Structure 1
Amino acid sequence: MPHHARTAPGITEPLTRPLARLLREAVLEHATTERRRAFAPVLHAGVPGRAARTFAVLRGDELDPALRVDVVEALVRPTVSRGRVPLLWLTRPDAAAEVDGEAQVDRDWVAATAAAGAELGVLLDLVVVTKHGWRDPRTGVARHWKRIRRRP
């Protein structure tokens, strides 16, 4: 997963074509598989549309910062140990982006991702994915679709 050929955290413009495809695939996969309007956030690590490990955050779960770091490390360590750096994405409902509590959840996972990456010696990316787009909470870089579809 070569999209990490940089030294600063966060996704910036211009996106490489492979990274743009990966992020679009994450949105497409989420939009076509998640039918519920309300659901708990799920943290994914891997390659969208191919192989990913996941961690579901159940409603009412209180995860402290250290536990979040442990979760991120557990999800990415197998891939990092093989010399690859996985993408991390947090799937959640579209409306949640407007709720202050959900914005805090995004920031909490960004902090955990940065800490886990530092402990593992890699630069990890985390994007928030909804059924209509993705956004990097660190840089604000985002893409949105009214209706995303699989390309022929």
Structure 2
Amino acid sequence: MNTFNKSIIAIAAFTAFTANATISVSDTDQTSFDIGGEILPECKVSNYSPERSTSLDLSSTEAQTTASISLWCNTGQGTARTTYESVNGGYMVSEEGKKIAYAIDIAGTANDLQLTSAQTINQIAGNGVEGAEATRAVSVKPLVTGFEYAGTYTDTIEVTVSYE
């Protein structure tokens, strides 16, 4: 009984595949069919953060390079909308809850961005089928006075990119 069911299923499947492939007298020696698909617009971001990004000199107000952000988009545009956002609202925070404000600079793009709210800028992006990205250095400027509490302060900066 089980073999009988499998045979009927196999015959039905074969019939379904060959039903539309019938040759007629009006067919020619040539045919064609369309193919195609879609690649949706997208941007990609990556970063390189050397060890020095977690060992900033928090007694200095000088800009200190902390990461290199690389962008690539498949839209052919020269720039991409890039959003920088701080997990701690623009502050490096110690385990004791003490805070140090900071600003970031994106080389050749923007200076003194404070991340108390998300900051969106147009940043140069690579394009082309080789995947060549455009990279910009990101520096952090601690906004210190010299009277901060001792401790280890940290924050996380999230970077999101999208085509314009």
TM range (shorter): under 0.3
When you count helix as a share of all residues, which structure comes out higher? 1
What's the TM-score once normalised by structure 2's chain length?
A: 0.25
When you count strand as a share of all residues, which structure comes out higher? 2
- Rg larger for: 2
What's the TM-score once normalised by structure 1's chain length?
A: 0.26
